[in-house]
Amino acid sequence: GFADVPFLQAMAASADARLREFSPQNLANTAWSFATMKFSDVPLLYALSSSALSPIRDFLPQDLAITSWAMAVLVFGHAPLLDSIA
């Protein structure tokens, strides 16, 4: 697997800085990307979860499924996000 931790940390920081610009699909894809690499950057996950709350009504079912799956894979429970998805 891919284990270049400094690179993944840099990618997480870059994504974190731009989350406000992301569409619901971008948010879901970002969560998916980190989950497929099993790289859990807690500050990014908190920021991603918080950023998804406001536009949650605009998420397509696929975006909701991907985001839920990613959070489960990364064992990250953000109660407000999970409640809003449910």
pLDDT at 1 over 60: no
Kindly state the average pLDDT of the residues 15-26: 92
**Distance (Å, whole) CA 68 – CA 64:** 6
Single out the residue of 38, 28, 30, 41 nearest to residue 2, CA to CA.
Answer: 38
- Three-class DSSP category at 48: helix
What confidence tens digit (pLDDT) does each residue in 22-65 have?
A: 999 999 999 999 999 999 999 999 999 999 988 899 999 999 99
User: How many CB atoms sit inside 10 A of residue 2's CB?
Assistant: 10
**Number of helices and strands (H, E) in the chain?**
5, 0
Q: Find the length of the chain.
A: 86
First to last CA, the chain: 32
